[in-house]
Amino acid sequence: MCRGFCSLAIVQGEFLMSDIIKTAYICGPLTELLPDEQAVIKALYVRIADAHEEYFGNRAFVPHEHYDPTLHANFLPEDVDKAERNQVCKKTSVLVVVAIAPSWGGGIEVEMANHSNVPAILFYPKGKKVSRLLKGNPAIREIIEYTNEHTAIWGLMFRIDRLSAI
């Protein structure tokens, strides 16, 4: 079952399933965090991606698994921008914005999503201050402010499913 995450291609006038399956993209802070904070936040991104795989059958895209600023330091900034821009704009069904700490990159990803008509879900712990500018971006279609991370992640899967059906 596609659940809205599959893109269609027109081949000789017929609609066929494309080889590209769109998936959720998990964005959030990473670069300027202290090593201990990075480990905790990376683990959260992985838990979200794992839940996505369990719920939908395909893994969410987690940027640090491909372009970690420490493990993949050899990538040029232009390479990272090109690759992630392609991922967000062409291969993403829903952007999940994990607003758990300040970030300079997350806003760029949100605006890429907005420009490409990709809906976004803002996901953050209760009490965390989040910019009104980010909250007001037209790409943001859902906001999940959570107190229990485990429950919130499964609620996030429901919201992703619902947004992909629109």
Q: What is the pLDDT of residue 101?
A: 87
Q: What is the pLDDT of residue 166?
A: 56
Predicted TM-score of the model (pTM): 0.85
State pLDDT tens for residues 69-81. Answer: 788 889 999 999 9
- Tokens representing residue 33 in the block: 């965090």
Domains and CATH numbers, the chain: 22-164 (3.40.50.450)
Largest separation between any pair of C-alpha atoms in the chain? 53
CA distance 99 to 123: 6
Higher pLDDT, residue 16 or 67: 67
Percentage above 70 pLDDT, the chain = 87
Query: Any idea which residue has 């719920």 for tokens?
Result: 55
